[in-house]
Amino acid sequence: MPVTAPPKFSCYIWQHPAWPQLTFDAMALTSALEQARLEQGRLLGLLGAIGLDQANAIQRELWVQEAQATAAIEGEQLNVESLRSSVAHRLKLANEPGPDRSVDGLVQMMEDALANHGTSMDLDRLCRWQSALFPGGTSGITRIVVGRFRDHADAMQIVSGTLGREVVHYEAPPSAQVPAEMTSLLAWFENTRPVAGVTTLNGIARAALVHLWFESIHPFEDGNGRLGRALADMALAQDMHAQDSQANSALVRVYGMAHQMLKHRAAYYDALNQAQRLRDALPTTSTIDVTPWVRWFIQTFTSACTASQAIVRDATDKAHFRIRATQCHINPRQSKVLERLLEAGHVGSGGGFLGGMSSDKYCKITGTSKATATRDLTDLLAKGLLRVEGMGKATRYAVNVPGWAQPSAKS
């Protein structure tokens, strides 16, 4: 009699008999985790060497970038000025938050996840996070349930495509199961939280697991992506504190995880989708192996640390250059132009002053005459604050920061 192959088992992750027992192969991830810790240490070392004021300035700008990114992943564009105002308010640099309540709600949620990472996460706190994202009770012009889990009878699906050609990427557990599912998740999150430096689970891997688990439940009618990323950030803050009790957990923002997820959004969604849709798994399997997802998360964390290192180095370069410029006793016109060039950055950081600085552009920026512009630029060259490229009408000036590459001289 021929041997019959065991039946194939294709399901969503929460339909697997072993749910929610998520596991990963720690040995297979040893190298990736070691690299992640190495880049994390390098980043924190750079931050520790630049001084509190400069670290706070970097943190402020990256908080803005992270908030923009976590919203943009969901296709939402935030008002940047309102966002900057809200961040400044949370950092006690401004008296009032921005005028957009939903933007300020996102900033509040991000702050609570990091500043209060040591406080237990419970259902009430999570629901308050979601309420903060939708202060008017609407998502766009659509009224949604806020401050409590979804309760609609329809399936919660992640879909794409045009009407009539929709592709279902994932279907979450029915609404009736959500309270029990979330109770299990939050109990696990609390039980695995590092206490007094004692960890039972690698902190970066734990952040990967809580993000996947939360997104798989998809407990709210809207805002799940932003909430899931905030939970991952909270887990990373707890991990940082476990490694160094004196560490400023707010510096988790400088990891730039949301920014990296946005940069590789297609890969992010694909990695989640692959982890949430299980194929060829035997129904008798006692656990669910999500090693590929954890590996992707760790590698993204490593890339985020590397990218943030470049940002910190650029900020350090700018700070040193500003000191040099001050010591050269430059005039206000020159200071204004140099600041524009510094803020534009350089090609290596994805920036650069378009076409380089010319005498004509100097005149427009400072409102001065061509003769004065020429004298100012010549003086900056003599002081070593600018370098020159090209000749004649093609002459362009670039800020003279060691290691900074500039755009080619094109008008």
Q: How confident is the model at residue 159 (pLDDT cuts 50, 70, 90)?
A: confident
pLDDT of residue 201: 93
Q: pTM of the full predicted structure?
A: 0.85
User: What percentage of the chain reaches a pLDDT higher than 70?
Assistant: 90
Q: How confident is the model at residue 130 (pLDDT cuts 50, 70, 90)?
A: very high
Three-class secondary structure of residue 253 per DSSP: helix
Tell which of 271, 290, 313 closes a domain.
Answer: 313
- Residues 307 and 333 both lie in one domain: no
Q: State which residues form the domain around 372.
A: 328-399
Residue with tokens 């206000």: 332
Q: How confident is the model at residue 406 (pLDDT cuts 50, 70, 90)?
A: low
Give dist(CA 226, CA 406) in Å, integer: 36
Would you say residue 408 has pLDDT above 90?
no
Would you say residue 6 has pLDDT above 50?
no
Would you say residue 319 has pLDDT above 70?
yes
- Residues 21 and 94 both lie in one domain: yes
Q: CB-based burial of residue 24 (10 Å sphere; 0-12 exposed, 13-18 middle, 19+ buried)? A: buried
pLDDT in tens, 168-226: 889 999 999 999 999 999 999 999 998 876 778 999 999 999 999 999 999 999 999 99
pLDDT of residue 370: 94
pLDDT in tens, 256-289: 899 999 999 999 999 999 999 886 555 566 789 9
Region 75-99 average pLDDT: 82
What DSSP string runs through 323-387?
A: HHHHHTT--HHHHHHHHHHHHH--GGGT---TT-B-HHHHHHHHT--HHHHHHHHHHHHHTTSEE
Torsion of CA 312, 315, 316, 322, to 10 degrees: 180
- Residues 160 and 289 both lie in one domain: yes
Higher pLDDT, 3 or 370: 370
User: What percentage of the chain reaches a pLDDT higher than 90?
Assistant: 56
| Residues shown for the chain | 411
Q: How confident is the model at residue 53 (pLDDT cuts 50, 70, 90)?
A: confident
Would you say residue 153 has pLDDT above 50?
yes
CB atoms within 10 A of CB 21: 12
Q: Do the domain assignments include residue 68?
A: yes
pLDDT of residue 284: 61
Q: Which two tokens stand for residue 138?
A: 């609407």
pLDDT of residue 229: 97
Q: How confident is the model at residue 155 (pLDDT cuts 50, 70, 90)?
A: confident
Q: How confident is the model at residue 411 (pLDDT cuts 50, 70, 90)?
A: very low
Q: Which two tokens stand for residue 252?
A: 């988790």
Closest to 43 (Cα-Cα) out of 318, 316, 349: 316
- Residues 301 and 340 both lie in one domain: no
- Residues 54 and 119 both lie in one domain: yes
- Residues 59 and 164 both lie in one domain: yes
Would you say residue 390 has pLDDT above 90?
no
pLDDT of residue 302: 97
Tell which of 271, 288, 313 closes a domain.
Answer: 313
Q: Do the domain assignments include residue 2?
A: no
- Residues 38 and 164 both lie in one domain: yes
* CATH at 341: 1.10.10.10
Task: Please count the structural domains in the chain.
Answer: 2
- Residues 68 and 98 both lie in one domain: yes
Would you say residue 2 has pLDDT above 90?
no
